[in-house]
Each structure stands twice: as C-alpha cells, then as structure tokens.
Amino acid sequence: QVQLAESGGGLGQPGGSLRLSCTVPIIAFTDYIIGWYRQTPGAQREFVAQISPTATANYADSVKGRFTASRDRFTNTASLQMDNLKPEDTAVYFCKANSERRGSVFWGQGTQVTVSS
C-alpha cells in the first residue's frame, strides 16, 4: 500500500524557519496534487497549501507570503518551506497526494511543528 511520510518538524522560534519534506512513493507522481494540512488538538484539519503537477501552488491566507511549496519529480519529494514562523503555526502537519483522474487519495501520518520563544 502507498504510505506518505513527513519529516523536518520540530521546534522553531517566532520569525524563524523550518522546512518540511514529504516522501511520495508513487510511480505516477506527476498525476498527483500534493497538499499540506495542519491540525491542533480538538480542531478540524485545515488547508495550508497545495501544489499541482505543473508546480503551480496556492496557499491559505494565513500563510501567504511566508510558506512556499515545491516538488521534485526526480526524487518524488514534496517540500514546504516555512519562513517568518508565528506561534499560531504550531500544529501537526500532514501531506496528502490526490489524483482526481485516478480516484486516489493518500495521507502521511503527520509531523509536529512547535513555534515558541
């Protein structure tokens, strides 16, 4: 079965940076939209960013100008660069691979990001 894996989470300071990575073990990697979501205890999982097979990205208003999504088809890896971190960015971050044409959705297990001084 396909299983995604996030890495790069940890402790960051306000105004600092972290970079998350997501390994995507899917042969047809270029068919999939890669999304990033985050969730805090007791809250609904929320959209953060997504990047299309053509590398066009869109972002939630809360992270625009601070986060940057990217993807590398040669390594089947997606990344989320997080700059100018804020305490409200604290959450568990998940990556998702979605193909509407194939009718397939796969999720990672999440990585903890904590932003505190």
Q: Summarize pLDDT for 76-111 with one digit per residue, the tens.
A: 999 999 999 999 999 999 999 998 888 889 999 999
Give the pLDDT score at 17: 98
**26 vs 104: CA distance, rounded Å:** 11
Give the pLDDT score at 112: 97
Angle at Cα 29 formed by Cα 47 and Cα 112, nearest 5°?
Answer: 40
Q: Summarize pLDDT for 27-43 with one digit per residue, the tens.
A: 788 889 999 999 999 99
Angle at Cα 9 formed by Cα 4 and Cα 12, nearest 5°?
Answer: 160
